[in-house]
C-alpha cells in the first residue's frame, strides 16, 4: 500500500510539472506569434489562466489569457503599460502549437493602458505649457489670450471618451495673482481639444478614463474579437 501511495504521489507531481511545462511553452508560442505577426519590438508576456492547462488545451477553450504588451504606438499616438485581457477564449490546440493566431477568438477583450501627459500635451493648443494631475484635479498651465495679450493661468479640465478619442474640456480657471480675469466660455472654445485615441488593439473602444499622477489610465472593451485583428 505504501508503495502504491508513493507511486500515486510521483504521478501527481509528474502531471503537475508536465502541466506547468506545457503552459509555459504555449505562452511562449503565443507571445512569439503575436510579436512576429504584428511586428512588435519585443515579445509580449503571455499568461494563460486556469488550472490545469492541459485539459483546456485539449478542449481548445481557455478561461482567460492576459497579454502584456508594454509600450505601444498606433493611430499616431503612443501609450505605456498596454495590457490586453482576453476572456472565454477559443483556440484549437493545433493553431497554438503551430503559432497561428487566425482562429483564436475571445468572447471579450479588455485593454488598459497609460497615456502619459507629455503625449496629451502634444495635442493641446498652443499656449499650454504643461498638463498634470494633483489633489485639486487635472490641470493645464500656460499662457492664455485675453484680448491682445497673453497671461499666465491654471485651467482645470475634465476628460471623457468620445467617438473621436479623449476629449479634454476646461471646467474652471485660476488666473495668476493680480492678473486679468479669464473667460471660461472663451477658454472652452479655444482650449477644448481631443487626443485621438479612439480605440486600443483588437478594436476595443474607450469606456473609461482615470487621471492619475503618471498619466491618463484608459480602459477599452471589445466583444467577439479575433486575435489576428491586433493592429
Mean pLDDT score across all residues of the chain: 78
Question: pLDDT at position 179, please?
Answer: 63
**Measuring CA to CA, how many Å separate 231 from each of 92, 201, 209?**
22, 6, 22
Please, what sign has the CA dihedral across residues 175, 178, 181, 187?
negative
Q: How far apart are CA 59 and CA 61, in angstroms?
A: 5
Question: Do 65 and 82 contact (CB within 8 A), yes or no?
Answer: no
**In percent, how much of the chain has pLDDT > 90?**
29
Q: Residue 202 carries which DSSP code?
A: G
Tell me how far apart the alpha carbons of residues 126 and 177 are, in angstroms, rounded to a whole number. Answer: 22
pLDDT digits (tens, 9 = 90+) for 67-106: 888 888 877 788 999 998 888 888 776 666 565 556 678 8
Top pLDDT among 16 and 59 is at 59
- Contact indicator for 121, 54 with CB cutoff of 8 Å: no
The sign of the CA dihedral 185, 187, 189, 191 is: negative
Q: Predicted confidence band at 227 (pLDDT cuts at 50, 70, 90)?
A: low
Q: pTM value?
A: 0.79
Cell readout for 88 is 472565454
Q: Angle at Cα 215 formed by Cα 210 and Cα 217, nearest 5°? A: 35
**Hey, is 75 helix, strand or coil?**
coil
The three-state secondary structure class of 66 is strand
Place of cell 488666473: 175
pLDDT computed for residue 1 by the predictor: 38
- What DSSP letter does each residue of 128-149 carry, written as one string? EEEEEEETTEEEEEEEEEETTE
Q: Whose grid coordinates read 489576428?
A: 228
Q: C-alpha distances in angstroms, 37 versus 34, 101, 208?
A: 5, 9, 29
Measured distance CA(28)–CA(6) in Å, rounded: 33
Instruction: Tell me the C-alpha distance between 95 and 162, whole Å.
Output: 37
**pLDDT grade for 174, boundaries at 50, 70 and 90:** confident
Count CB neighbours of 210 within 10 A.
Answer: 12
**Total H helices, total E strands in the chain:** 5, 12
Does 20 score more than 70 pLDDT?
no
pLDDT at 55 over 50: yes
Amino acid at each position: 500500500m505504501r508503495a502504491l501511495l508513493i507511486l500515486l504521489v510521483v504521478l501527481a507531481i509528474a502531471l503537475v510539472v508536465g502541466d506547468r511545462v506545457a503552459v509555459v511553452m504555449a505562452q511562449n508560442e503565443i507571445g512569439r506569434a503575436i510579436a512576429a505577426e504584428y511586428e512588435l519590438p519585443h515579445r509580449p508576456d503571455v499568461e494563460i489562466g486556469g488550472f490545469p492547462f492541459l485539459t483546456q488545451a485539449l478542449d481548445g477553450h481557455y478561461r482567460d489569457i492576459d497579454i502584456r504588451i508594454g509600450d505601444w504606438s498606433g493611430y499616431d499616438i503612443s501609450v505605456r503599460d498596454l495590457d490586453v485581457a482576453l476572456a472565454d477564449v477559443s483556440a484549437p490546440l493545433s493553431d497554438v502549437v503551430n503559432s497561428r493566431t487566425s482562429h483564436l477568438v475571445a468572447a471579450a477583450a479588455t485593454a488598459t493602458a497609460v497615456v502619459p501627459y507629455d503625449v496629451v500635451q502634444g495635442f493641446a493648443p498652443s499656449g499650454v505649457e504643461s498638463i498634470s494631475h494633483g489633489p485639486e484635479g487635472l490641470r493645464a498651465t500656460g499662457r492664455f489670450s485675453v484680448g491682445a495679450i497673453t497671461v499666465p493661468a491654471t485651467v482645470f479640465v475634465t476628460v471623457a471618451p468620445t467617438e473621436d478619442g479623449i476629449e479634454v474640456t476646461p471646467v474652471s480657471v485660476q488666473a495668476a495673482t493680480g492678473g486679468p480675469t479669464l473667460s471660461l466660455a472663451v477658454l472652452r472654445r479655444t482650449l477644448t481639444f481631443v487626443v485621438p485615441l479612439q480605440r486600443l488593439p483588437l478594436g476595443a473602444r474607450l469606456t473609461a478614463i482615470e487621471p492619475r499622477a503618471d498619466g491618463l489610465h484608459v480602459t477599452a472593451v471589445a466583444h467577439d474579437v479575433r486575435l489576428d485583428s491586433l493592429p
